[in-house]
């Protein structure tokens, strides 16, 4: 009986270890992807600036799909949420 219990516990531990390793690998892959994305974004900005300095105009680049259409600037929902959080946060004046 105790051998079956031991085997069950070991199997459970091995399953947890496997799941932990899979999660660790996924987290590492995500970090690598984020880094690659940031690098690609930086290279895109450099290339766009070079193209504009080299004689391309924004309208032509936009027409070719190489420049995103600018969106009207307005506060994002996140910025509004942050403001409301700051507004509702207790201040030292209210705390006694």
pLDDT of residue 39: 98
Mean pLDDT of 7-28: 98
Q: How far apart are the first and last CA of the chain?
A: 63
Tally of domains within the chain? 1
Per the structure, the complete domain to which residue 50 belongs is given by 2-67
pLDDT of residue 93: 46
pTM of the full structure: 0.56
- Domain annotation covers residue 93: no
Above 60 in pLDDT, residue 9? yes
From its phi and psi, is residue 55 left (phi > 0), alpha (psi between -120 and 50) or beta? left
pLDDT of residue 38: 98
For 38-95, the pLDDT digits (tens) are: 999 999 999 999 999 999 999 999 999 998 876 676 665 555 555 554 455 554 444 4
- Domain annotation covers residue 18: yes
């Amino acid at each position: 009986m105790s051998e079956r219990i031991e085997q069950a516990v070991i199997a459970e531990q091995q399953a947890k270890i496997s799941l932990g390793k899979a999660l660790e690998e996924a987290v590492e892959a995500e970090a690598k992807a984020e880094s690659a994305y940031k690098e690609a974004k930086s290279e895109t900005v450099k290339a766009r600036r070079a193209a504009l300095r080299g004689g391309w105009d924004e309208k032509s680049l936009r027409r070719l799909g190489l420049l995103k259409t600018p969106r009207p600037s307005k506060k994002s929902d996140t910025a509004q949420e942050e403001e409301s959080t700051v507004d509702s946060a207790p201040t030292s004046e209210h705390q006694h």
